[in-house]
Structure 1
Amino acid sequence: MDTTGPRMPFAPTALSVRELLASYVAVLDELTRRGVIRTRNSPLGDLAETLAERAYGGTLAPNSQKSYDVLTMDNRRIQVKARLVDRLDKRTQNFSAFRSWDFDSAVFLLFDTNTYDLIWARELECDEVQTIGRRVEHTNSSAILIRNVAAAGKDVTVLFSLVFGAIDEPAEQP
């Protein structure tokens, strides 16, 4: 009897980050089909934060940091929000809620749920985020609709696409 655990049918170290993400999507599809999971969000947040860190420079905030995810070299505090969407799904969708406003800018990244391809990236100042937010009393938060972000702020899709395209390269050290 084999007690060493499951064996990998392939060598993940030989795959690019994009190939690993595509494999991850296939695994999620099968786990959903089997009724094991209901959501597809992880590792999206960590990926988005890594892209923001590389795009803007600086360092990732500690995991317990409440208001921002990246501290840039010029001390800007960047909150990062990411969402997977199916391009054919026309339902209203939100980014994760805001419960704190102690950041300078927020970066919103929208990814295709089937491929992890970046659809768009937008950067908004804190006051812009507050303006487009909808207060949700029972969660003490502000909900941010994808469609409201898409029409606001600064388009940084090209920057994030370039960074994502180079995701397999080692991160530059300051």
Structure 2
Amino acid sequence: MSICTKYNKYFQVGQIKAGFCSFVANFNQLFFACYLGVGSQVQGGIILNLGDLKPIELLQLQANATAELKRREIVRTNNNPLGDYAEWLVANMMGLKLAENSKAGYDAISDAGVTFQIKARRVTPENPSRQLSAIRNYAEKDFDWLIAVIFNKDFNVINAYLVPHEAIGDYYPHRNHVNARVVVMSGAILQDKRVMEITEKFES
């Protein structure tokens, strides 16, 4: 039995049965929002602790959530959704066009032809590191700007920065053991006048 079948029960709202039940994973809890079959007004809901679910049910939930994000064209792969979500968010908030998945070196491009590589990091109380994923082939200058987005544990943007390509080379040397440059969005680079904080673009 799938998690959808197990928990897609009818909920009584007065004498009316609530029809459609949608769910969204939110780390420690799963919120079921129940809607009347005849409309879209929220009539009631329950909160389910993820700790009550079996391992297979958690995997089913993750797979279904990823499939829904792909259907909405928010993520483009079945990998960790943070990177895809950050690319989608940046493109929508900054009016950029996403590159094809197979395009190496940059993730988005402006109407003027300016190219951007987009990196994201989710910080948590357990792991506050602001280290981004490796930037490879830096010397080939495939992108003009790096957009670094820092999320909190709930996927809210807490900082976003626009970093010129040349600034990366000034602060982060090539690391032979990873064959790349590893950017950490803290310390001296944030004081560089060439680096612009653009967090306000992501504020709702």
TM-score by length of 2: 0.60
Determine what percentage of the aligned residue pairs are the same residue.
Answer: 23
Contact 2:105 2:117 in 1 (8 A): yes
Q: What's 1:110 paired with?
A: 150
Q: What's 1:25 paired with?
A: 27
CA-CA distance at 1:68 after TM superposition: 0.6
Structure 1 runs, 4 residues or longer, greater than 6 Å off: none
Higher relative contact order at CA 8 Å, sep ≥6: structure 1 or structure 2?
1
Q: Deviations over 1:14-72 (max 9, x none)?
A: x7xxxx4xx24237x85xxx7x99xxx82111111011111222311111221110011
CA-CA distance at 1:124 after TM superposition: 0.6
Gapped runs of 5+ residues in structure 1? 166-174
The CA RMSD over aligned residues, in Å, is 3.0
- Highest CA radius of gyration, 1 or 2? 2
Contact 1:87 1:112 in 2 (8 A): no
Give the secondary-structure state (helix, strand or coil) at the position aligned to 2:158: strand
Give the secondary-structure state (helix, strand or coil) at the position aligned to 1:128: helix
Say which structure is richer in helix: 1
**Equivalent residue pairs, number:** 143
TM-score by length of 1: 0.69
Moved more, 72-81 or 133-142: 133-142
**Do residues 7 (structure 1) and 45 (structure 2) align?**
no
Gapped runs of 5+ residues in structure 2? 9-20, 30-49, 60-78
Q: Which residue among 45, 48, 61 is the counterpart of 2:99? A: 61
